[in-house]
Amino acid sequence: MTASPNTQVGEFGQPAPGESFSPGVRAFRKIIRKPSVILSLAFLALIVLLAIFAPLVTRLSGWDPFTYDEAAVDPSSGGLPLAPLGGISAEHWLGVEPQNGRDIFARIAYGARVSLLVGICATAITMLLGVVMGLLAGFFGGIVDAVISRLMDFLMAFPALIFMIAILSALPQGNRPALLVIVLSIFSWPATARVIRAQTMSLANREFVEAARTSGAGWAPLVFREVLPNLSGTIIVMATLAIPNFIATEAGLSFLGVGITPPNPSWGQMIASAVPWYSSDPMFFAIPGILLFLTVFAFTVLGDNLQKIFSGGFE
**Contacts (CB under 8 A) with another protein, residues 48-87:** 66-68, 70, 73, 75-80
Q: Strand, coil or helix: what is 74?
A: strand
Q: Which of residues 206-265 bind another protein (CB under 8 A)?
A: 244, 248, 251-252, 255-258, 261-263
Judged by beta carbon, residue 203 or residue 251, the one nearer another protein is 251
Name which position in 139, 189, 285, 310 contacts another protein (CB under 8 A): 285
CA distance 95 to 72: 9
CA distance 192 to 35: 30
Instruction: Give the x/- contact pattern for another protein in 160-189, rule: CB under 8 A.
Output: -xxx-xxx-xxx-x----------------
Helix axes 104-140, 228-255, angle to 10 degrees: 140
Question: Degrees (nearest 5) of the Cα angle 232, 233, 237?
Answer: 115
CA distance 93 to 96: 9
Judged by beta carbon, residue 226 or residue 303, the one nearer another protein is 303
Q: Which stretch binds another protein (CB under 8 A): 54-62, 219-227, 230-238, 276-284?
A: 276-284
Tell the smallest beta-carbon distance from residue 201 to another protein (Å). 12
CA distance 238 to 296: 14
Q: How far apart are the first and last CA of the chain?
A: 35
Judged by beta carbon, residue 75 or residue 216, the one nearer another protein is 75
Q: Which stretch binds another protein (CB under 8 A): 22-30, 215-223, 228-236, 286-294?
A: 286-294
Chain mean position to CA 94: 25
For residue 278, state whether it binds another protein (rule: CB under 8 A): yes
Tell the smallest beta-carbon distance from residue 153 to another protein (Å). 6
Of 202, 192, 176, which is closest to residue 242 (Cα–Cα)?
Answer: 192
Burial of 74 (0-12, 13-18, 19+ CB in 10 A): middle
State how far the alpha carbon of 286 is from the alpha carbons of 77, 79, 95, 161, 252, in Å.
21, 18, 12, 25, 16
Interface size with another protein, residues (CB under 8 A) = 75
Judged by beta carbon, residue 67 or residue 232, the one nearer another protein is 67
Count the Cβ atoms, other than its own, within 10 Å of residue 41: 14
Count the Cβ atoms, other than its own, within 10 Å of residue 307: 22
For residue 275, state whether it binds another protein (rule: CB under 8 A): yes
Q: Which of residues 136-165 bind another protein (CB under 8 A)?
A: 149-150, 153-154, 156-159, 161-163, 165
Tell the smallest beta-carbon distance from residue 278 to another protein (Å). 6
For residue 276, state whether it binds another protein (rule: CB under 8 A): yes
Tell the smallest beta-carbon distance from residue 159 to another protein (Å). 4
Tell the smallest beta-carbon distance from residue 229 to another protein (Å). 25
Instruction: Give the x/- contact pattern for another protein in 12-31, rule: CB under 8 A.
Output: -xx-----------------
Judged by beta carbon, residue 29 or residue 150, the one nearer another protein is 150
Q: Strand, coil or helix: what is 80?
A: strand
Of 129, 164, 136, 155, which is closest to residue 242 (Cα–Cα)?
Answer: 129
